[in-house]
């Protein structure tokens, strides 16, 4: 059967319905393809529009109305609008920080995942049947690599040598007990690790908040530590004001304000970048006095310990603050992964700002837990807080016994 263009024109002229013409045209295209005609062949035929439903067909689907005043891609169902408006009117929900008690118990699992924990390696050496000089050298090397320091390492090894020889220790349980005793003694549980955050009084009897100054080098997580410390204090029922005295890093004040807003804590900051940090710190303490809060936490700019100008500025902040209220704590934030370099930082900060406590961050990410011992021995200043992770409540008061048990966890 052959149908050409003249035939189609004749059919149209005599009024044959359009549906028949379309059908014949489709048949023509099919026949030409089958005979290898000039119509290009394709794997996927061109789309054919679906036939419209007959007029007045009761089975035809009803058209969905489209809002005229709504931009494409951003339409919101009318029924959702009232809830959205109500959501905007609601005040932000304040977070409730996790209780402080028991936070350090999480350190056990995290230290065991940090890679070759100190305690595990020590137990492996001490549990051998016969300890040779090579074994004692390995023990000493393990302690030094864990940043315990030369002096404390010698004390631990000498004490272990004496007890192993005198008591003839061989059982794993006995070895573990002796090692625990030695590590606990070297960490020194007698140091005062409490945070002094009780409000005080001036010489004339006026009530003043406890002022806590937080210092440290760049990159140790100082501003984050201040935010987490605010959560620790709020969890203990304290009222807090934050002072954003890091005026050199553009996002520092915003970051601190975000931490404070999550637990309902006010942040005192400057409207200008590069403002005098001592002035901001002073305003924060004065605000704390006016509002009769318990604690004022002052965040400072990160600075290198070998930059004299920055360290002099830190001394200025300290002098200005003490005119308004005595400093209850000066906390130095150290990165536990920096090892012995942290000692150099600690020495300079202690001379300039009078450090009263250490905050060790990233303690869960290193096998070098010996930095706790080294920094305490060097400064006579206790580790008071430890960072256990990146969560908002992963800052815990340092507990020597829980720390040693975490090191010896199997």
Known binding site for GTP: residues?
Answer: 216-223, 299-303, 361-364
Which phi and psi (to 5°) does residue 345 adopt?
-65, -45
**SS3 category, 330:** strand
Neighbouring C-beta atoms of residue 402, cutoff 10 Å:
19
Reference 247, options 300, 204, 298; nearest CA is 300
What is d(CA 84, CA 248) in angstroms, rounded to the nearest whole number? 39
Cα gap 126→256, rounded to integer Å: 47
Residue 292 makes CB contacts below 8 A (sequence gap 6+) with 207, 209, 239
What is the CA 409 to chain-centroid distance, rounded?
A: 25
Binding-site residue ranges: 216-223, 299-303, 361-364
State how far the Cα of 270 lies from the Cα of 379, in Å rounded to an integer. Answer: 34
**What is the DSSP secondary-structure string of 16-53?**
--HHHHHHHHHHHHHHHHHTT-SSPP-SSPPP-PPPPP
d(CA 321, CA 315): 10
**What DSSP line would sit under 232-253, residue for residue?**
HHHHTT--EEEEEE--SSTTHH
């Amino acid at each position: 059967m052959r149908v050409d263009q003249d035939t189609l024109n004749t059919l149209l002229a005599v009024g044959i319905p359009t549906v028949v013409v379309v059908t014949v045209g489709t048949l023509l295209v099919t026949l030409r393809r089958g005979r290898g005609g000039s119509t290009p062949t394709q794997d996927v035929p061109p789309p054919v529009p679906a036939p419209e439903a007959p007029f007045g067909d009761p089975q035809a689907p009803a058209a969905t109305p489209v809002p005229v005043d709504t931009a494409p891609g951003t339409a919101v169902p009318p029924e959702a609008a009232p809830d959205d408006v109500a959501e905007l009117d609601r005040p932000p929900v304040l977070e409730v920080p996790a209780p402080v008690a028991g936070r350090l118990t999480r350190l056990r699992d995290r230290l065991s995942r940090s890679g070759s924990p100190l305690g595990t390696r020590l137990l492996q050496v001490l549990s051998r049947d016969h300890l040779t000089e090579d074994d004692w050298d390995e023990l000493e090397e393990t302690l030094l690599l864990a940043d315990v320091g030369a002096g404390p390492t010698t004390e631990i090894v000498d004490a272990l040598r004496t007890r192993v020889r005198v008591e003839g220790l061989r059982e794993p349980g006995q070895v573990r007990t002796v090692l625990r005793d030695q590590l606990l003694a070297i960490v020194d549980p007698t140091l005062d690790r409490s945070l002094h955050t009780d409000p005080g009084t001036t010489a004339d009897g006026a009530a003043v908040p406890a002022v806590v100054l937080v210092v440290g080098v760049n990159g140790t997580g100082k501003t984050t530590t201040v935010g987490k410390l605010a959560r620790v204090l709020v969890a203990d029922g304290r009222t807090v004001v934050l002072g954003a005295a890091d005026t050199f890093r553009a996002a520092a004040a915003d970051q601190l304000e975000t931490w404070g807003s999550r637990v309902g804590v006010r942040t005192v900051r400057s409207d200008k970048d590069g403002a005098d940090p001592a002035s901001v710190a002073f305003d924060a303490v004065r605000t704390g006095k006016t509002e009769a809060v318990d604690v004022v936490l002052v965040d400072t700019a990160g600075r290198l310990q070998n930059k004299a100008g920055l360290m002099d500025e830190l001394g200025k902040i300290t002098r200005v603050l003490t005119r308004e209220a005595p400093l209850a704590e000066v906390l130095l934030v150290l990165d536990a992964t920096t090892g012995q370099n942290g000692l150099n930082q600690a020495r300079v900060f202690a001379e300039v700002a009078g450090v009263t406590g250490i905050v060790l961050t990233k303690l869960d990410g290193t096998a070098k837990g010996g930095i706790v011992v080294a920094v305490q021995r060097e400064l006579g200043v206790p580790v008071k807080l430890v960072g256990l992770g990146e969560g908002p409540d992963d800052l815990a008061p340092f507990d020597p016994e829980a720390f040693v048990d975490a090191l010896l966890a199997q």
